[in-house]
């Protein structure tokens, strides 16, 4: 019998209880899963940064921490965490991100806002270019970024993808390093941010990088709020250098009511809904990793502590 602690946000336990139990049973595991159990009896921790566990020291028997989120920046540097940490990569997260990013890229490409909100009844007869004539850049080619890039390529968009290390992906112009970042910024009329939050990626979008973008470009951020210098973004919107910013993630969440993003006419705020963790698909990933651990196999999506993701 294995003891699995659900250390996510307590309000989500009712959503996860049955899917986790069914997924573990389906993987042939004999488990007890609960949000409360003595730390010294815990074998695996299903974790979210918003949950109750911040000190891992008492969990002397635990073999791994299985993160429920794709991002691990709030736990990866925890000095009490001495056991393997995995991040969440699952079909639900991927599909949700692909749908959200593709939807907003199409929204900006087609200029849909001018028709959806048109209180003065203006006859906007501007015809947008076709997808092959609208270059899109994606900063971050991890699992989610690569899936979004592939979706946009299928629609005909020319996609340039920038990553920290060189990659080769079919149909995508893959670039890396400082020169690659410059190419992605210069060419993307729509730039999508899907980078993790690490010391190397913070403020990737700043006054200097915004100035390299085509005038009137659009920024879509579904990665992390820390990727953007907020003040520089607002200045670029005010000057017209940036045409619009659609933002799903922020340095402080929920976004404070007084934050200028709320009132800016060229900013769209969505409440961190681009890719949520769905209990059914996420539970299958958790169960598979517990099965792998018990079988002595390599864990899926193991976090590189040095890289931060």
Closest of 62, 139, 42, 67 to residue 303, by C-alpha: 67
- Mode of pairing for the β-strands spanning 2-7 and 44-47: parallel
Q: How far is the C-alpha of 108 from the C-alpha of 32, rounded, in Å?
A: 48
CB of 2 closer than 8 Å to CB of 31: yes
DSSP state of 69: S
Q: 168: left (phi > 0), else alpha (psi -120 to 50), else beta?
A: beta
18 DSSP assignment: H
CB proximity list for 293: less than 8 A, separation 6 or greater: 44, 63, 64, 299
Annotated catalytic residue 115:
no
Q: List the catalytic residue out of 104, 107, 224, 284.
A: 224
Please pick, among 12, 264, 272, 292, the residue that the annotation labels catalytic.
Answer: 272
Q: Which two tokens stand for residue 213?
A: 């973008």
C-alpha–C-alpha distance, residues 280 and 286, integer Å: 10
Question: What is the spatial distance between Cα 39 and Cα 61, in angstroms, rounded to a whole number?
Answer: 8
CB 97 within 8 A of CB 147: yes
Say if strands 136-139 and 85-86 run parallel, antiparallel, or are unpaired: unpaired
Q: Are 226 and 251 in contact (CB under 8 A)?
A: yes
How many degrees, rounded to 5, is the angle at CA 107 between CA 233 and CA 182? 45
Annotated active-site residue 126? The verdict is: no
- Which of 295, 283, 300, 298 is CA-nearest to residue 24? 283
Catalytic site positions: 224, 272
């Amino acid at each position: 019998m294995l003891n699995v602690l659900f250390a996510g946000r307590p309000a989500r336990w009712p959503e996860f209880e049955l899917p986790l139990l069914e997924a573990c049973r389906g993987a042939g595991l004999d488990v007890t899963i609960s949000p409360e159990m003595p730390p010294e009896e815990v074998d695996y921790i299903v974790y979210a940064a918003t949950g109750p566990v911040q000190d891992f020291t008492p969990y002397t028997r635990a073999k791994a921490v299985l993160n429920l989120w794709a991002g691990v920046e709030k736990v990866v540097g925890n000095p009490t965490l001495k056991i393997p940490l995995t991040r969440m990569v699952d079909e639900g997260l991927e599909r949700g991100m692909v749908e959200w990013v593709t939807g907003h890229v199409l929204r900006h490409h087609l200029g849909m806002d001018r028709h959806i909100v048109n209180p003065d009844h203006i006859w906007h007869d501007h015809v947008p270019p076709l997808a092959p004539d609208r270059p899109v850049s994606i900063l971050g080619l991890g699992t989610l970024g690569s899936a979004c890039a592939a979706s946009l390529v299928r629609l005909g968009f020319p996609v340039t993808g920038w990553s920290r290390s060189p990659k080769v992906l079919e149909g995508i112009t893959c670039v890396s390093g400082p020169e690659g970042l410059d190419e992605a910024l210069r060419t993307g009329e729509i730039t999508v941010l899907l980078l993790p939050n690490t010391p190397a990626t913070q403020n990737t979008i700043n006054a200097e990088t915004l100035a390299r973008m085509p005038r009137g470009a659009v920024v879509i951020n579904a990665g992390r709020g820390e990727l953007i210098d907020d003040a520089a973004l607002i200045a670029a919107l005010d000057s017209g250098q940036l045409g619009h910013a659609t933002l799903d993630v922020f340095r402080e969440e929920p976004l404070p009511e007084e934050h200028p993003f709320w009132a800016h006419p060229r900013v769209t705020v969505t409440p961190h809904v681009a890719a949520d963790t769905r209990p059914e698909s996420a539970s299958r990933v958790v169960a598979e990793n517990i099965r792998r651990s018990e079988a002595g196999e390599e864990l899926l999506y193991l976090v590189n502590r040095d890289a931060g993701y």
